[in-house]
Amino acid sequence: MIDIQEFADKVGIARSYQSVTGETVQISEQARLAALGAMGLPIHDPVKLADYVARSEEQYFTRMLDPVLVADAGARSFTLLRTPAALSEEAELKLTLTLEDGTVIKDENPLYEAEIADYKTVAGVEYDLRRIFLPSDLPLGYHHLEAEISDGSTQLKAEPLTLIVAPTRCYVPEVMQQGRKVWGLSVQLYAVRSKRNWGVGDFADLKDLLKYSARRGASFVGLNPLHAGYPANPDPDMVSPYSPSSRIWLNIIYISVEDLPEYVSCYKAVELVNSPSFQQKLRALREREFVDYRQVLELKLQVLRVIFEEMTLDDRRSLRGRKFIEFMEKGGQSLLNMAAYDALQASLYAQGINAWGFDSFPKEYRQADSPFVAVWRQEHEAEIRFYCYLQFAAQEQLQEAFAEAKKRGMLLGTYRDLAVGVSPGSCDVWSDSSGVYRRAASLGAPPDPLGPNGQSWGLAPMDPYRMREQAYQPLIEMYRANMRSCGALRIDHAAGLARYWWVPPENPPTNGAYVQNNMHDVLGIIALESVRSQCLIIAEDLGTIPQELRDALKKYGMYSYKLFFGERAYDGGFIAPQDYEPQAMAAVTTHDMPTLYGWWKNLDLTLGEKFGIYTSITAARLAAERRTAKQRMLDSLHGLLSAGPEVPRFADDIPEMTPALVKAIEVHMCRGSCALYSAQLEDFIGVEKPVNIPGTFREYPNWRRKLTMNLDEIFSRPEIIELTDAMTAARESASTH
| pTM assigned to the model | 0.96
User: What does each C-alpha distance from 116 to 123, 215, 664 come to in angstroms?
Assistant: 20, 63, 66
Closest CA to 391 of 262, 506, 282, 246: 246
pLDDT at 597 over 70: yes
User: 153 vs 643, which has greater pLDDT?
Assistant: 153
User: What pLDDT is stored for residue 20 in this prediction?
Assistant: 83
User: What pLDDT is stored for residue 148 in this prediction?
Assistant: 96
Do 621 and 737 share a domain, yes or no?
Answer: yes
pLDDT range class, residue 253, cuts 50, 70, 90: very high
Do 282 and 201 share a domain, yes or no?
Answer: no
Whether 50 maps to a domain, the answer reads no
The pair phi, psi for residue 559, each rounded to 5°, is -90, 130
Eight-class DSSP state of 559: B
Do 268 and 186 share a domain, yes or no?
Answer: no
Whether 211 maps to a domain, the answer reads yes
Do 185 and 162 share a domain, yes or no?
Answer: no
Eight-class DSSP state of 534: T
Tell me which residue range forms the domain holding 645: 181-224+560-737
Whether 482 maps to a domain, the answer reads no
Between CA 601 and CA 650 the distance in angstroms is 15
Residue 71 pairs with which residues in a beta bridge?
Answer: 165
User: What does each C-alpha distance from 352 to 160, 367, 607, 729 come to in angstroms?
Assistant: 48, 21, 36, 58
The span from the first CA to the last CA of the chain, in angstroms, equals 64
Task: Count the alpha carbons within 13 Å of 342 in the hemisphere toward its beta carbon.
Answer: 30
Between CA 693 and CA 591 the distance in angstroms is 9
User: What pLDDT is stored for residue 640 in this prediction?
Assistant: 65
Whether 415 maps to a domain, the answer reads no
User: What pLDDT is stored for residue 318 in this prediction?
Assistant: 86
Q: Over the stretch 27-63, which tens digit does the pLDDT of each residue have? A: 999 999 999 999 999 999 989 999 999 999 999 999 9
Closest CA to 145 of 113, 117, 105, 110: 105
Closest CA to 171 of 479, 407, 595, 446: 479
Do 186 and 220 share a domain, yes or no?
Answer: yes
> What is the per-residue DSSP string for 568-618?
B-TTSPBPPGGGS-SSEEEES--TTS--HHHHHTTHHHHHHHHTTSS-HHH
pLDDT at 641 over 70: no
SS3 string, 322-368, reads HHHHHHHHHHHHHHHHHHHHHHHHHHHHHCCCCCCCHHHCCHHHCCC
CATH number of the domain where residue 83 is located: 2.60.40
Do 80 and 149 share a domain, yes or no?
Answer: yes
Q: CA geometry: angle at 544 spanning 441 and 502, to 5°?
A: 5
Whether 703 maps to a domain, the answer reads yes
Whether 213 maps to a domain, the answer reads yes
Do 263 and 325 share a domain, yes or no?
Answer: yes
Which residue among 143, 166, 189 closes a domain? Answer: 166
Whether 55 maps to a domain, the answer reads no
Residue 127 pairs with which residues in a beta bridge?
Answer: 84, 120
Looking at the chain, the number of H-run helices and the number of E-run strands are: 23, 25
pLDDT at 612 over 80: yes
User: What pLDDT is stored for residue 570 in this prediction?
Assistant: 85
The torsion angle over the Cα atoms of residues 504, 507, 509 and 514, rounded to 10 degrees, is: -40
Between CA 385 and CA 578 the distance in angstroms is 53
Between CA 290 and CA 311 the distance in angstroms is 34
Task: Count the alpha carbons within 13 Å of 598 in the hemisphere toward its beta carbon.
Answer: 24
pLDDT range class, residue 663, cuts 50, 70, 90: very high
Q: What average pLDDT does this structure show over 242-256?
A: 98
Between CA 502 and CA 32 the distance in angstroms is 9
SS3 string, 79-114, reads EEEEEECCCCCCCEEEEEEECCCCCEEEEEEEHHHC
Do 281 and 371 share a domain, yes or no?
Answer: yes
Do 153 and 216 share a domain, yes or no?
Answer: no
User: What pLDDT is stored for residue 452 in this prediction?
Assistant: 77
pLDDT at 736 over 90: no
User: What pLDDT is stored for residue 695 in this prediction?
Assistant: 84
Do 158 and 283 share a domain, yes or no?
Answer: no
Q: Over the stretch 357-398, which tens digit does the pLDDT of each residue have? A: 999 999 999 999 999 999 999 999 999 999 999 999 999 999
User: What does each C-alpha distance from 448 to 22, 451, 571 come to in angstroms?
Assistant: 11, 5, 20
User: What pLDDT is stored for residue 544 in this prediction?
Assistant: 87
Q: What average pLDDT does this structure show over 244-259?
A: 98
Q: What is the mean pLDDT of the chain?
A: 95
Whether 66 maps to a domain, the answer reads no
Do 608 and 688 share a domain, yes or no?
Answer: yes
Which residue among 166, 189, 212 closes a domain? Answer: 166
The pair phi, psi for residue 134, each rounded to 5°, is -110, 150
pLDDT range class, residue 22, cuts 50, 70, 90: confident
Which residue among 140, 166, 192 closes a domain? Answer: 166
Do 343 and 255 share a domain, yes or no?
Answer: yes
Contact partners, residue 712, CB within 8 Å, separation at least 6: 194, 195, 208, 212
Closest CA to 94 of 136, 156, 173: 156
Q: What average pLDDT does this structure show over 420-433?
A: 97
The tally of domains found in the chain comes to 3
**Are the C-beta atoms of residues 162 and 171 closer than 8 Å to each other?**
no
Contact partners, residue 154, CB within 8 Å, separation at least 6: 87, 91
pLDDT at 1 over 80: no
